């Protein structure tokens, strides 16, 4: 049987990695970040992958890593990249491999949080705000479609939010 992982999904800047680490600690589970695993396997950072292989090359790597991770045991807290839900197969894998938690945030909150970002290829553009607004609009319905639970992450301190998530997860048994 496929183990029941806990996935954190949501846009860039929602806090998936930080909150995911806290949540894993609180639940006594191990933590893994899909982006970090992609970089470790490639021996290169995400910007380099985008430059050399284009966004599609990155997306192929993302799908491969997701598929490998979900078949791993024991269950883990898995933080995903903001675009993982673009692929219908990825969405199906997420939905049938565990509990999917959507960390939502408003465009304004994400704009503020990613203000100094230099590592996310999609945000290294002149009009970063317009890109973020477009991503929120286009991807919001996809996050909602796969989510079992939705938590606004915008204004809550990461550890406090992780405690709320841990409580919710424990309630679900």
Residue nearest to ligand S3P (CB): 81
From CA 98, how far away is CA 75, in angstroms rounded? Answer: 9
Cβ 6 vs Cβ 98: under 8 Å: yes
Nearer to ligand S3P, 136 or 169 (CB): 136
Nearer to ligand S3P, 118 or 171 (CB): 118
3-state SS, 4-54, equals: CEEEEECCCCCCHHHHHHHHHHHHCCEEEEHHHHHHHHHCCCHHHHHHHHH
Give residues in contact with ligand S3P (CB under 6 A): 12, 16, 35, 46, 81-83, 120-122
Question: Shortest approach of ligand S3P to residue 139 CB, angstroms?
Answer: 8
Nearer to ligand S3P, 5 or 120 (CB): 120
Nearer to ligand S3P, 82 or 98 (CB): 82
Nearer to ligand S3P, 82 or 154 (CB): 82
Question: Shortest approach of ligand S3P to residue 41 CB, angstroms?
Answer: 14
From CA 149, how far away is CA 89, in angstroms rounded? Answer: 20
Residue 63 CB burial class (10 angstroms; 0-12, 13-18, ≥19): middle
How far apart, in Å, are the Cα atoms of 91 and each of 7, 112, 122, 124, 145?
11, 28, 21, 26, 9
Question: Secondary structure of the chain: what % helix, strand, coil (to 5)?
Answer: 60, 15, 25
Question: Shortest approach of ligand S3P to residue 129 CB, angstroms?
Answer: 15
Question: Shortest approach of ligand S3P to residue 16 CB, angstroms?
Answer: 6
Question: Shortest approach of ligand S3P to residue 35 CB, angstroms?
Answer: 5
């Amino acid at each position: 049987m496929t183990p029941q992982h806990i996935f954190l999904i949501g846009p860039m800047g929602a806090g998936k990695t930080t909150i995911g680490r806290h949540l894993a600690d609180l639940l006594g589970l191990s933590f893994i970040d899909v982006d970090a695993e992609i970089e470790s396997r490639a021996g290169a950072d995400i910007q380099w992958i985008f430059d050399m292989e284009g966004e599609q090359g990155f997306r192929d790597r993302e799908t491969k890593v997701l598929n490998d991770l979900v078949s791993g045991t024991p269950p883990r807290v898995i933080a995903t990249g903001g675009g993982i839900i673009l692929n219908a197969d990825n969405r199906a894998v997420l939905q049938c491999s565990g509990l999917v938690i959507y960390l939502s945030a408003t465009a304004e909150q994400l704009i503020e949080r990613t203000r100094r970002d230099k590592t996310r290829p999609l945000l290294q553009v002149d009009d970063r705000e317009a890109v973020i607004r477009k991503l929120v609009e286009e991807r919001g319905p996809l996050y909602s479609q796969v989510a079992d639970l939705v938590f606004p992450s915008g204004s809550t301190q990461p550890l406090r939010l992780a405690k709320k998530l841990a409580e919710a997860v424990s309630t679900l048994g």
